Structure 1
Amino acid sequence: YHTGSLRDSSVPCFPSAFGFRDDITSCPERLDLDRRGLTDVPHLDAAENLRLLNMQHNLISHLQDLLHLRRLVFLDLYDNRVIDMSGVSSLTSLRVLLLGKNRIQRICDVDGLTKLDVLDLHSNQISQIENVSRLSKLRLLNLSGNRITRVENLQGLNCLTELNLRHNSITSVTDVENLPRLQRLFLSSNSISRFDALACLWHCRSLSELSVDGNPVALESCYRQTLLRCCSPHLQLLDMKRVTEEERRTASVSARKEDEKKKESHKQAAHKVQKHTLHRMLLDESDSQDSVFIL
């Protein structure tokens, strides 16, 4: 097994997997391979009991040789060169998967990770949320710093409490109402320009923290009041700023006035339709009488 060249020659290099044997023997459940210049996942013989594996800051591009790590619950591959997630599906005991700051373009091969609690894919090249519907125990999903344009395909994430989508290219938000336990949603620094693109948030009754700052819609004069009026009454933080009772009362009054205005508008519209219908009936009756007179 060859670990590949090091960026920094001062960091020790292990010429083979045997170089990790002492680490594994001293602590059979935990292995730290941070900054080792690895270009591939090493074949870790005698590591069947490994539960935590840290391989941050290496040069790994593909995830292979993971099949025998059946008991692994924590895998950290932050700051590598991973381009494909294929290979993680065999880690059926995994609870935490950290793949931030890599080169991943698609979310895939995670169907078998049914025990996963945390999935961190920030700072990659992902353009679509997909293939996560079977992660029914997932509580935290971090997709910030990607290329996502639309929030979608979130069905099945029944335990999700936090969704981080900061610094993407999002213009529309859907499916968030299908997350029954969602408490924290971060949408800062995207491309959302209209309130109706956020309409699904009005049905997120468990939401307690929301960030939408850094979007064009946040420049609207009624921005904060509109969100407080329409969002969950349990919202505590908006754009990292605590919601005051005075703001909540003002938003409540505004909501009542808006409802009254809508009711009055509907009432006038109904009256107008009724008046038009009556007028039409009178004209039809007049035309009928004229026809009889001519005959």
Structure 2
Amino acid sequence: EKDGIIAITEEKRDSTIEMVMDIFGYKYGQVLDPFKGMNEFLSACIGARVYAALDKKGGCDPNISNSLNAKRTACIEATIPFRGPDEKGRSPPEALFDRLKVVNQTYDLGWDEEELVSEVQRSADLGNRDLENFSWTDRSAFLSNTWKLLPESNVALRQNVHYISELAFAMKKMAGFFAFLNPETIYYSFRDPEAEAIVQEKTAEAKRNIDTSLTYMRCKYLALSVLSAVAELSGGDAPISFFMGDRPITHARSKSMNLEEFLDMEHEPAKGLKFDKDVLKLLCEGRKLETKFDEKRSPLGANLYAHIGDDGVKESIKYAVHP
């Protein structure tokens, strides 16, 4: 690692790590991309070294050790998410199969064709299980799971006080990710008709989750943009609690006004308005689980969506801003 950049160097060359590199398709000098396999590769390297050290102490047969290491590494490689076909048009399992064939010969693993296919199938299945939530049929649960991940990539959301700009920025990033997420890159199978049928079902469900979530996030971002405008006109960016009515009461006789008191809470869309019933329900009733940085329900988002619908959201989001 140098200046925040992690690359594979030839210092302390290790055949165990070289096998991991071969399975991942990595080379010496390659810079690791934190968004495309770096974590998985480093995890595989650590696991390989720990396992190799234990094998030496236990006197395990090197061939057996290499075989088990390769199987474990292949499973970890398959958990790199959201990958489409490579430059040769191969799916991730197809590319993994080709690399494992070479690794099998190079490190004398002793696998036959049937075992090679079986290992790729098992790896693909693990990768699918790792992203199982994308195929959940409960939209509310799926969004709750997505919301739990927001603090991982947004440090500000780990604090006790959350500003409008912080939540709006997190929402904009997540919506941007979902806008470019291709459901066809989530689940894979390999030479297994039954698994392929399951993958198609999961992919269809994932598409519904992605579409619903994207519209939901855009409504949330649009609502936050409205609050941002009010904040700018009244002194600048502020904790979102100032506007949502949940600021702690300091005096027993104080009454905290709630945003819903100023809105039409019927949320009855105009006749002929194009909208998604699932999205409106999520905005009105809320996600399944609470988070400390955002309320489950979005009354302002629901109000806006009920008035302008899908087309209005798509057009308005172009002008949405935050401090």
TM range (shorter): under 0.3
Structure (1/2) with the larger helix percentage: 2
Decide which structure has greater strand share: 1
TM-score of the pair, normalised by structure 1: 0.26
Higher relative contact order (CA closer than 8 Å, sequence separation 6+): 2
